[in-house]
Amino acid sequence: MTELPARRLLLVHAHPDDESINNGATMARYAAEGAHVTLVTCTLGERGEVIPPELRHLTGAALGEHRLRELTAAMAELGVEDVRLLGGAGRYGDSGMMGLADNDDPDCFWRADVDTAAATLAEVILEIRPQVVVAYDDHGGYGHPDHIQAHRVALRAVEHAARAGWTVPKVYYNRVPRSVAEAAFARLREELPALPFPKSAAVSDVPGVVDDASITTEIDGTAYAAAKAAAMRAHATQIDVAPGERAFALSNELAQPLFTTEYYQLVQGEPAPDDGRNRESDLFAGTGEVA
């Protein structure tokens, strides 16, 4: 295998589009800076609701194949070349929203054996040897079964990898500080008449919002705002990005802010020494560039 760059970041997501919404600016920034960025997506999102009327005929496997093409296009916008489907394309199916009969499908990700899926992910960790892994919290950010399962699998895979010889120095959760979300929604409500969406979502609709004190790391991705918006726009079945790249909506047509500074909570590993800013500005801070 070709020798990898000194800095290596691995992100674990449930469906195509989650990565661009949550981490698009972060991924674009680190890819541009020469880090090796690996995305592992756990399902193809075969049960997602489709926004454009001309694509609503897509369901099941056909939708999954289409969303995989969208994912490929989105990663090209972010400069990310290492994209993996956990266990291979179609290995784990989309589980649908919590409480639906879809959750009982034996082939869906929610029903997957956690250790088996984690062992597969651990193989990727042992291959890449990332200093940083980014995952969801134990609620999956907003309670979707695939997000919760992605959390379980990611953290279990980190444990498997440690026993097999690679201890990931830092593990982060995707987060949004409450004060930032509240301020962004206040601006959004003022701008709503100029947006192509009828109503605004609420802070509670944003996954991973927590009190500001929980935030350990703030990644300034404003230089990569256009790349993040382009990646989100590539997921056309799932996301409608407004002109100006400041807002977007999902299938509910409720406007949300498009964040280009992205936030994280360090949950495993040691924070970088305090440089007076109280928050890390680099996910790799303090890890060294381990070969």
Q: Is the pLDDT of residue 124 over 60?
A: yes
Residue 171: DSSP 8-state = E
| 105-115 pLDDT per residue, tens | 999 999 999 99
| 232-289 pLDDT per residue, tens | 999 999 999 999 889 999 999 999 999 999 999 999 999 887 665 689 999 999 997 5
Report the Cα 208 to chain-centroid distance in Å.
Answer: 11
147 is in an annotated binding site: yes
Tell me the C-alpha distance between 131 and 284, whole Å.
7
Instruction: Note whether 213 and 179 are within 8 A (CB).
Output: no
Position of tokens 């784990």?
A: 92
57 is in an annotated binding site: no
Residue 56: DSSP 8-state = T
**252 is written with which tokens?**
């509910």
User: What is the pLDDT at residue 288?
Assistant: 73
**Which of 118, 141, 139, 96 is closest to 40 using CA atoms?**
118
The enclosing H or E element of 36 equals strand 36-41
235 is in an annotated binding site: no
Phi, psi of 218 (to 5 degrees): -130, 115
User: What is the pLDDT at residue 276?
Assistant: 58
User: What is the pLDDT at residue 257?
Assistant: 98
Q: Is the pLDDT of residue 1 over 60?
A: no
